[in-house]
A and B are shown apart, each in its own frame.
Chain A
Amino acid sequence: DAGVIQSPRHEVTEMGQEVTLRCKPISGHNSLFWYRQTMMRGLELLIYFNNNVPIDDSGMPEDRFSAKMPNASFSTLKIQPSEPRDSAVYFCASTPPLAGLHEQFFGPGTRLTVL
């Protein structure tokens, strides 16, 4: 079975450019999470969706970040304009629709470098 799929796996861009990260959750999962991981701050929740609806975006750093989930099988995280401090590994995770189940299935991550 396919797990969570993220693309691209690596992205190198220059400051000021727009960056779009993509995620396909596991089929049948109804919650999707975007995280950012850095050495300094660890794993931080940016935003999460339930049934394609954003539930909590309080972790989104600033207006340069936006996330969408147009359907149950696709989500994007966009950074515009990107800055060097956005360099991190961005993970997408999904969970199935079972009450009380908190296991999150993570994708392999996108390693973003902003020069």
Chain B
Amino acid sequence: RKEVEQDPGPFNVPEGATVAFNCTYSNSASQSFFWYRQDCRKEPKLLMSVYSSGNEDGRFTAQLNRASQYISLLIRDSKLSDSATYLCVVPLDTGRRALTFGSGTRLQVQP
């Protein structure tokens, strides 16, 4: 099983729609999780961290389900500018600073 798995998509949604992505991870000891966003032909950038209690930032909500070992990202009221690839990220090992990136889920918001 891969350390981090994501549905590659693409998810094609109309503007204003709500869309959710899931990501599963294999290391049950993982404590912290992140979502990064990568625009086409650009570098990845941190979108938000995922805390045990969940995390909300405007239209974006990230949640963690430890029992099932998955994290989710919910985007409400999708904008054209949300079109990008969303990477699920898990620390490589407890106490170390390296990260394992999922292969990403591509979102295309259409007018």
**Which residues on A are within 8 Å of B, measured CB to CB?**
31, 33, 35, 42-43, 45, 48, 50, 55-56, 91, 95, 100, 102-104, 106-109
What is the CB-to-nearest-CB distance from A17 to chain B, in angstroms, rounded to a whole number?
24
Inter-subunit contact A45/B97 (CB<8 Å) = no
B110 at the interface (CB under 8 A from A): no
Inter-subunit contact A55/B43 (CB<8 Å) = no
Question: Which of A48, A100, A103, A106 interacts with B98 by CB under 8 Å?
Answer: A48
Which single residue of chain A is at the shortest CB-CB distance from B102?
A42
Question: Interface range on chain B: under 10, 10 to 19, 20 to 34, or 35 or more?
Answer: 20 to 34
Which single residue of chain B is at the shortest CB-CB distance from A59?
B98
B14 at the interface (CB under 8 A from A): no
- Chain A residues with CB under 8 Å of B104's CB are 42-43
- Chain A residues with CB under 8 Å of B99's CB are 45, 102, 104
Inter-subunit contact B92/A104 (CB<8 Å) = no
B16 at the interface (CB under 8 A from A): no
Which single residue of chain B is at the shortest CB-CB distance from A43?
B101
Inter-subunit contact B102/A103 (CB<8 Å) = no
Question: Which of A31, A45, A91, A102 interacts with B43 by CB under 8 Å?
Answer: A91
- Complex Cα distance, B41 from A108, in Å, reads 9
- Chain B residues with CB under 8 Å of A31's CB are 97
B1 at the interface (CB under 8 A from A): no
Inter-subunit contact A45/B92 (CB<8 Å) = yes
Inter-subunit contact B96/A56 (CB<8 Å) = yes
